[in-house]
Amino acid sequence: ASSHHWLLAWTGLELNMLSILVIIMKPKHPRTAEAAIKYFLTQTIASTMMLFSSTINAIQTGQWDISMMTDKYACTMLLLAMTMKIGAAPIYFWLPEVMQGTTMLTALIIATWQKIAPISILFMTCNHLPPKIMMTIGILST
């Protein structure tokens, strides 16, 4: 997610998500299949929200640059999408069930490595994100 173009950042997040699905599914067990499906569906919904918010912002500003995130509705939608991707409160409903259905090493990867890209996108756009919602998410996540 070190790209400054929305499409490349989105592509990086999708490749990241698809690669962890293989790791989740490695042990052949019904619980891992359920965890992989839950992970896939929630990450896909969050990715769709991110793509939609970047499209709204591009229509409003004419720019596909991450640093040009100025539309307040697009910023709010992006914040919610990234919150869902990292599993922060209040949109963490999927995280405990996915963690429970995976191995310890896979859960560790999901809890750490998989959050780096969405958090870096949040850092790249933090000057434009709504501070009240960010504060609420931060307080609820502690």
Q: Quickly state the pLDDT bin for 1 (edges 50, 70, 90).
A: very low
Share of the chain above pLDDT 70, in %: 98
21, 39 contact by CB (below 8 A)? yes
pLDDT at 109 over 90: yes
Both structure tokens of 42: 């929630």
Q: What is the pLDDT of residues 22-67, one digit of tens each?
A: 999 999 999 999 999 999 999 999 999 999 999 999 999 998 999 8
pLDDT of 70 strictly over 80: yes
| Domain range list for the chain | 6-141
Closest CA relative to residue 32, chosen from 42, 20, 44, 46: 20
Q: Are the beta carbons of 35 and 97 closer than 8 angstroms?
A: yes
Q: What integer pLDDT is reported at residue 3 of this predicted model?
A: 66
